Amino acid sequence: MRTMRLGRRRWLALAAGLTTGLTFGCGQQAAPPAPTAASSGMGAAPTSAPAQSAAGAPTSAPAPAAAAQPKATTAQASKPGAQAAPAGGKRAEVITATQLSLPASLFWGVPNGWSNLSKIDALTGDWLVMPDADGTLTPKLAREVPSLTNGGARFEGEGAARRLRVTYRLRDGLVWQDGTPLTSADVAFAFDLQRTPDFPLIDRSLVSKVDEVKTPDPLTAEFVFKPGAFDPDFARVGEPYPKHLWSGIAPAQLLKSEHATKPIHAGPYRLKEARPNEHIIFEANPRYWAGPPRTPTIVMKVAADSNAMLAQAKAGQQEITMFGYTGADLLPELERYVADGRHQVIVRPSTSTLIVGLNVDRPILSDVRVRRALLMALDRKGMNDAILHGRVGVLNSWMTAASPAYVKDLPAPTGGQGGARTLLKEAGWTPGPDGILHKDGQRFEITFWGRTEDRQRELYMQAIARDWKAIGVEAAITLRPTDVVFGKKGAGVISRRDFDAVVWQVSTMDAAGGYTMLHSSQIPSEANQMTGENYFGWRNPRADELLARARSSPEESERLAAYREHQALFMEDLPALPLFSHDLIHLIRSNVRNYRPTNSVRVADTWNASEWEALSS
């Protein structure tokens, strides 16, 4: 066989052609913009541009003094779009934020209700008042936060007939995103709808305390509470729904209507494009009451897991990476990464807790000795050290240190795995031939739920299942997508109460002060129109009484005392096994301004998205 030769020149030409093609493909680099003057480093929240008072700005209210006041700012509102171009460079047209999942339904504010504000809801909509990054209420569609000191809230009458009246005054010229005027009639409509049993709302704890809503004029809505009724969150009772869009649809059908995919509200951004499981694009609402938002387009996208989120951040594909609690195991790597000054890590101590929720109505888990044994068997410190580099706090409460009523040193069942076996033996559980406990012919096996997208949670689950196996309890780890596990109003196994145990990240304190998650009236059932989030099925009359007092007393000292005793009862009954208190973690590019994430998984980090901006150098 003869060797053939192509000329060297031809080979060079071929190689050059291929190289050119590949280079052309790689030509546009995605390196993040150069850092600006912003500081970088752990725990340093990005600086905020100074808010500027708006023309026709709301009136100021003095800082609350009475113990019963909700935390509220004086009524200042910025006009984001009206501000001059910032120092430091040109504003980017798009800000992209990445998180682990997006909601299946985009129906505004439902079924969560007032105490669970999603990131998407806060982009498309506005509440009358809304918590900021620290949980302090700020006026949005209302001119001010009603309080007892500014007269927006006041008691009327005496004795048993004493009532609370909360008055909202809407801003002038409010319009929905479709241009229809937004008036007090929309606020009254929302109240009527929230009281309708067919309307699929989880949390009616606040509106159930209200007798009626009066609308003396298009800009005023007055909420008249029932005699003797009070709620520390009274200032959040009002919110508007678009009456002109929703009123023609049966309440039970609303979530199946087009508004579940194309929400129209009064927020800073309008939904432009939504691709399930991929991304949602929002464009600025030119009719926003505070003026057009500073960044014309916000993209919320999904990554497969926290490692993919980090890789995409490093590749310069997003300005904001919302790890939340899932970033805890990545913290050392994030700390190393931000050393170059191009990014910042924001670590927010939070009200969030990681728990193993138990369904105490399941016979196998109904005995409190069993639940105590399950907690005793867990090596929570070991989990913290091995998975989270010792960065989180082991918890013996349903609250965290971020709540003023938190009791730090509550006792937890002790005795380790030996003690757990003894306790289970007392409860009648004895080891079978396979090492798994048996009682009355029943094997001790439970279904242990978690979500697919969360690698860190899966590690916890493996560790927990290992510890339980050591005492003869078999936990079948069952991972499913978020919506299959945590879907609201019967859409997920948890809300259907069709589970044994679940690893769950919750901000219980932000669920109406724990009421909707821990009060026995909030166990979802046909009888209460499936409202509430007490999926554990916890019933304890004393705990109910304490929680009701904590949610109805105008005196802060009385509320704190009730909460302290309640935490002790929780640790005795253990409807859920507390694991850790978690910081919430975010990675942002250093050129991003005004990103101020909240301290709760139930309060949207997008609460001030209209002020976000990213500056080029």
Partner 1 sequence: MLRFRYLLRRLAQAAVTLVAVTALLFGLLHAIPGGPLRNLIGESVGADPAAAERAEALLGLDRPPLERYLGWAGGLLVGDFGASWVVAPGRPVGPLLLTALGNTLVLTGTALLLALVLGGLVGVASALRPGSALDLGLGLGSLLLGGAPTFWLGMVLLIVFAVELAWLPAGGAQTIGRDDPLDRLRYLVLPVVTLAAVQVAAWGRYVRAALLEELGRDHLRTARAKGLPETVVLLRHAAPNALTPLVALLSLEVPALVAGATVTEAVFSYPGLGRLLLSALRAYDWPLVQGIALILAVAVIGSSLVAEVVVAILNPRLRA
Tokens encoding 307: 């490692």
Tokens encoding 29: 């680099």
By the 10 Å C-beta count (0-12 exposed, 13-18 middle, 19+ buried), 114 is classed as buried
Compare residues 7 and 159 and give the one whose CB is closer to partner 1: 7
Residue entry with tokens 């076996």: 421
Site residues (CB under 8 A) for partner 1, limited to 101-160 = 104-105
Residue 98: CB minimum distance to partner 1, A: 10
Residue 163 main-chain phi, psi, to 5 deg: -130, 150
Compare residues 352 and 456 and give the one whose CB is closer to partner 1: 456
The answer to the question of residue 94 lying near partner 1 (CB under 8 A) is yes
The closest of 96, 262, 279 to 271, measured between CA atoms, is 262
Applying CB under 8 A, which of residues 192, 474, 483, 556 lies at the interface with partner 1?
A: 483
The answer to the question of residue 5 lying near partner 1 (CB under 8 A) is yes
Applying CB under 8 A, which of residues 43, 56, 276, 332 lies at the interface with partner 1?
A: 276
Q: What angle do CA 504, 506, 512 make, to 5 degrees?
A: 145
The answer to the question of residue 278 lying near partner 1 (CB under 8 A) is yes
Instruction: Annotate 555-586 with b (16+ C-beta within 10 A) or e (fewer).
Output: eeeebbbbbbbbbbbbbebbbbbbbbbbbbbb
Compare residues 6 and 65 and give the one whose CB is closer to partner 1: 6
Q: Nearest 10 degrees: CA dihedral of 346, 349, 352, 354?
A: 90
Applying CB under 8 A, which of residues 1, 84, 87, 160 lies at the interface with partner 1?
A: 1
Site residues (CB under 8 A) for partner 1, limited to 210-269 = 256
Applying CB under 8 A, which of residues 333, 498, 542, 616 lies at the interface with partner 1?
A: 498
Residue 90: CB minimum distance to partner 1, A: 18
DSSP classification of residue 252: G
Residue 295: CB minimum distance to partner 1, A: 12
Residue 7: CB minimum distance to partner 1, A: 8
Determine which helix (DSSP H) or strand (DSSP E) holds 450, and give its type and residue range: strand 445-451
Applying CB under 8 A, which of residues 417, 478, 529, 552 lies at the interface with partner 1?
A: 478
Compare residues 5 and 414 and give the one whose CB is closer to partner 1: 5
Compare residues 321 and 599 and give the one whose CB is closer to partner 1: 321
Compare residues 143 and 294 and give the one whose CB is closer to partner 1: 294
Residue 424 main-chain phi, psi, to 5 deg: -70, -35
Residue 121: CB minimum distance to partner 1, A: 18
Rounded to whole angstroms, how far apart are CA atoms 295 and 96? 11
The answer to the question of residue 304 lying near partner 1 (CB under 8 A) is yes
Report the 10 Å Cβ neighbour count for 389: 13
DSSP classification of residue 447: E
- Cis? peptide before 232, omega within 30° of 0: no
Applying CB under 8 A, which of residues 135, 218, 228, 316 lies at the interface with partner 1?
A: 316
The answer to the question of residue 22 lying near partner 1 (CB under 8 A) is yes
User: In this chain, which stretch among 134-142, 186-194, 201-209, 492-500 interacts with partner 1, using CB under 8 A?
Assistant: 492-500
162 and 176 Cβ atoms separated by less than 8 Å: no
106 and 264 Cβ atoms separated by less than 8 Å: no
Provide the residue count of the chain: 617
Applying CB under 8 A, which of residues 154, 279, 287, 564 lies at the interface with partner 1?
A: 279
The answer to the question of residue 180 lying near partner 1 (CB under 8 A) is no
The answer to the question of residue 14 lying near partner 1 (CB under 8 A) is yes
Residue 184: CB minimum distance to partner 1, A: 34
Rounded to whole angstroms, how far apart are CA atoms 372 and 231? 33
Residue 490 in 3-state DSSP? coil
The answer to the question of residue 455 lying near partner 1 (CB under 8 A) is no
The answer to the question of residue 315 lying near partner 1 (CB under 8 A) is yes
The answer to the question of residue 87 lying near partner 1 (CB under 8 A) is no
Q: Please provide the distance, in angstroms rounded to a whole number, between the alpha carbons at the two ends of the chain.
A: 63
Report the 10 Å Cβ neighbour count for 519: 25
Helix 380-388, helix 455-470: angle, nearest 10: 150
The answer to the question of residue 277 lying near partner 1 (CB under 8 A) is yes
Rounded to whole angstroms, how far apart are CA atoms 218 and 615? 40
517 and 28 Cβ atoms separated by less than 8 Å: no
Give bridge partners of residue 519 from the DSSP assignment.
none
Compare residues 163 and 497 and give the one whose CB is closer to partner 1: 497
The answer to the question of residue 4 lying near partner 1 (CB under 8 A) is yes
Rg (CA), the chain: 27
Rounded to whole angstroms, how far apart are CA atoms 521 and 541? 11
The closest of 412, 414, 479 to 447, measured between CA atoms, is 479
# chain residues binding partner 1, by CB under 8 A? 62
The answer to the question of residue 476 lying near partner 1 (CB under 8 A) is yes
337 and 40 Cβ atoms separated by less than 8 Å: no
Residue 24: CB minimum distance to partner 1, A: 8
407 and 393 Cβ atoms separated by less than 8 Å: no
User: In this chain, which stretch among 3-11, 108-116, 240-248, 585-593 interacts with partner 1, using CB under 8 A?
Assistant: 3-11
The answer to the question of residue 34 lying near partner 1 (CB under 8 A) is no
Q: Is the dihedral of CA 212, 216, 219, 220 positive or negative?
A: negative
The answer to the question of residue 301 lying near partner 1 (CB under 8 A) is yes
Residue 38: CB minimum distance to partner 1, A: 20
User: In this chain, which stretch among 72-80, 476-484, 541-549, 590-598 interacts with partner 1, using CB under 8 A?
Assistant: 476-484
Residue 104: CB minimum distance to partner 1, A: 5
Applying CB under 8 A, which of residues 235, 405, 493, 512 lies at the interface with partner 1?
A: 493
User: In this chain, which stretch among 22-30, 48-56, 62-70, 409-417 interacts with partner 1, using CB under 8 A?
Assistant: 22-30
Determine which helix (DSSP H) or strand (DSSP E) holds 588, and give its type and residue range: strand 576-589
Applying CB under 8 A, which of residues 13, 16, 18, 82 lies at the interface with partner 1?
A: 18
Give how far Cα 585 sits from Cα of 2, 317, 320, Å. Answer: 66, 18, 11
Residues that bind partner 1 (CB under 8 A): 1-7, 10, 14, 18, 22, 24-32, 94, 96, 104-105, 256, 272-273, 276-279, 281, 297, 299, 301, 303-304, 308, 311-312, 314-317, 362, 447, 449, 452, 476, 478-481, 483-484, 490, 493, 496-500
